[in-house]
Structure 1
Amino acid sequence: MQTDTTTGAAITFDAVGKAFPKKGGGSVMALEDISLSVEPGTITGIIGRSGAGKSTLLRMVNGLEKPTSGAVTVAGRDVGAAGAADLREIRREVGMIFQHFNLLSSRTVRENVALPLEISGTPAREIAPRVDDLVERVGLQDFRNRYPAELSGGQKQRVGIARALATQPKVLLSDEATSALDPETTQTVLELLGDINRDLGLTILLITHEMAVVRDIASHVAVIEDGHIVEDGSTYDVFTAPQHPTTQSFLSSVTGVTLPHFIARQLRDTRPEGNAREVMRITFAGENATDPLIAEMSRDLGLQVNILAGAVEEIGPRPFGNLLISVDADGAEQARAFLERNQQRTEVLGYVG
């Protein structure tokens, strides 16, 4: 994912801004100078806190919102400048799934999935086989004649996914699609989206406030804060070397790698006199991510290492881990040099007496 306009991109945001009028006059900027390219066939996550602007950004892709400045293009077509006929055609190529499902309670599973096809004027003889194929794809063939009230949350979301695929879109938008689901159901829905991405080559753009969702499904990620993209790149690169404090905050919540409170309370920026220990964060990534480097370092350098917290994650096929340790301050420089020779990143967090 690049932060400029790429002609082959499935979706581009080119210097996009969005202002909303305020009561009493004036306006408030929801988005400012957003430039981002989403490549065909990728799964890109846009993560941000409530009010950061991510939903507004997503709604611009299918024309539900228009930019105040800049341009949003889908497959090279300017969404904001599209007339009514062109916008209908763009929307046929952009499916959308919602946080709260938005199913019609009076229609069965099959009838809900068929709705976009009926609205678009698809001949009746083509609707039934396509609907049956989609219902089977999302694993609801035994529930095809059930009504939404008879379905679980995960099943409802599967109906929403099937409905979003009905018009055979090239792009699928996901608006917090798993935030109303329990963790186990969330995982099955994410696996389904991953299968759809692989099987159909569909470009998926999803927004979320959960870094775990990005970790589990997205190949690329953009972090949005106060209407600005503060960091973007491949998910692996962003997870293993976050640059912005907002990204770092999100990552600490998903990995759980934070200092124990009794250590954090003692932590100092400068080394105290006498016996002191340096507290450091180690990010394990790359070819040596699963090697027993701490054991080797302790043995080779004769250092006593105290492990304070840690977690191992997986981004796609590649592992990465975060470990918080303390070592005797006199040997800390040697420890950091050893780790960096083995391609691991280190960060000094402070010192304890």
Structure 2
Amino acid sequence: MKTDTTTGAAISFDNVGKAFPKKGGGSVMALDDISLSVEPGTITGIIGRSGAGKSTLLRMVNGLEKPTSGKVTVAGRDVGAATGAGLREIRREVGMIFQHFNLLASRTVYENVALPLEISGTPSREIRKRVDDLVARVGLEDFRNRYPAELSGGQKQRVGVARALATQPKVLLSDEATSALDPETTQTVLELLADINRDLGLTILLITHEMAVVRDIASHVAVIEDGKIVEDGSTYDIFTDPRHPTTKSFLSGVTGVTLPQFIARDLTETRPKGPSREVMRITFVGDNATDPLLAKMSTELGLQVNILAGAVEEIGPRPFGNLLISVEADRAEEARNFLEHNQQRTEVLGYVG
């Protein structure tokens, strides 16, 4: 794949801004000084709340939106500056999967997948071969002559994936592709995207508001808030050591990091007078992520540890866990020193009486 000669990125956003005009004059900034590189062959997730600017960012990759400032490049070519045949060529290299499928009701599965090839003037014999291959890849051979109304949501999205691959793109964009699906179907679509990424070496850029989707499929993640990238990096690093409050908020719904309500109600930032317990989060990472460190700490230090919440899971091939615990406040520093000596991260959340 031809990549950007300065960054080596399949997709790059260089100081990108986007302003939309407001009724009555003036403008509103949808994106503000965005800089981000998406490396070839990776799956990168853009996560943000509704209105954060993630859809606008995605639409710049295929030229549906043009930046007000800065530059967006795909395979080394400036998308915002491209017009006519140049823009059409870029769009052939960028496939798109939509949240609500966008299938034509009057066309069969086969005909929906074939549509981009018909538009681009591909010969009929080549269309047949490519569509047959794609329908088989997404597991819909038995449904090739069915219409969208006869398909489940997951099957419709598989048609959408096949159609997005029809022009043999270098980049695949996913616009909330699983948000209209149930959890089980979501997992099968994510597995399909992971297979495509692995088998075809396709670069995938997906936007979502679900951190679990990022956890399950993305190697890299960027968090967008109010039109700005507030945090980005490898998925493992972001999950195990989030820095920005928005990232921490997204993570609170996964990986067992939410405090039980009866603890959160009584939590104080400062240590109260009298007997109290310190509440801390432990992030278990690295080679010791699955070791029984709490049991070892209790035995060696004689500490009573109260486990409040937690989970151990995997990000890619690497295990990590989050535990919320409380220990006697008088000995909390001793506990933290023990854990950090064993390469685990700790964070003081507050105190309870």
Whole-Å separation in 2 of the counterparts to 1:143 and 1:225: 41
User: Contact conserved, 2:15 with 2:69, CA < 8 A, in 1?
Assistant: yes
1:5–1:36 contact (8 Å) kept in structure 2: no
1:50 aligned partner, one-letter code: S
Answer yes or no: is the 8 Å Cα contact 1:5–1:14 preserved in 2.
Answer: no
- CA positional deviation for 1:32: 0.5
Q: Is 1:23 matched up with 2:23? A: yes
> What is the SS of the residue equivalent to 2:336?
helix
Q: Which runs of at least 4 in structure 1 moved beyond 4 Å after TM superposition?
A: none
| Alignment partners' CA distance in 1, 2:115 and 2:48 | 32
Counterparts of 1:19 and 1:226, CA distance in 2: 12
1:40-82 deviation digits (Å, cap 9, x = unpaired): 0000000000000000000000000000000000000000000
The aligned counterpart of 1:130 is 130
Matched, 1:183 2:183: yes
Residue 272 of structure 1 is matched in structure 2 by: 272
What are structure 1's unaligned runs of at least 5 residues?
A: none
Q: CA deviation at 1:313?
A: 2.3
The match for 1:258 is 258
1:3-82 correspondence runs (5 A): 6-82=6-82
Q: Using the TM superposition, give the Cα deviation of residue 7 of structure 1 relative to its aligned residue in structure 2, in angstroms.
A: 2.7
Q: Give the deviation of 1:256 after TM superposition.
A: 4.0
Query: Are 2:7 and 2:37, in contact at CA under 8 Å, matched by a contact in 1?
Result: no
**CA distance in structure 1 between the aligned counterparts of 2:233 and 2:244, rounded to whole angstroms:** 12
Aligned partner of 1:195 in structure 2 is: 195
Give the gaps of 5 or more residues in structure 2. none
TM-score, normalised with respect to structure 1: 0.98
Deviation of 1:6 after TM superposition, in Å, equals 4.7
The 3-state SS of whatever aligns with 2:58 is helix
Whole-angstrom distance in 2 between the partners of 1:81 and 1:254 = 41
For 1:330 and 1:123, locate their aligned partners in 2 and report how far apart those are by CA, in whole Å: 77
The 5 A counterparts of 1:210-289 are 210-289=210-289
Shift of 1:272: 1.9
- Spell out, residue by residue over 1:294-344, the C-alpha distance to the aligned partner (whole angstroms, 9 max, x if none): 000000000000001111221000111110101111211110001001110
CA contact (8 A) 1:11 1:75 kept: yes
Task: Encode CA deviations 1:195-228: one digit per residue, 9 max, x unaligned.
Answer: 0000000000000000000000000000000000
Confirm or deny: 8 A CA contact 2:256 2:323 kept in the other structure.
Answer: no
Q: Deviations over 1:25-45 (max 9, x none)?
A: 111000000000000000000
- Count of matched residue pairs: 350
- Answer yes or no: is the 8 Å Cα contact 2:279–2:325 preserved in 1: yes
* Partner Cα distance (2:257, 2:172) in 1: 33
Q: Does structure 1 retain, via aligned residues, the 8 Å contact 2:305–2:326? A: yes
Letter in 1 for 2:131: V
Alpha-carbon distance between aligned partners in 1 of 2:254 and 2:262, rounded to the nearest angstrom:
21
Corresponding residue of 1:114: 114
- Structure 1, 5-14 or 186-195: larger mean CA deviation: 5-14
1:266 offset after TM fit, Å? 1.6
CA RMSD of aligned residues (A): 1.1
Structure 1 241/6 Cα, relative in aligned 2: closer, same or farther at 3 Å?
Answer: farther
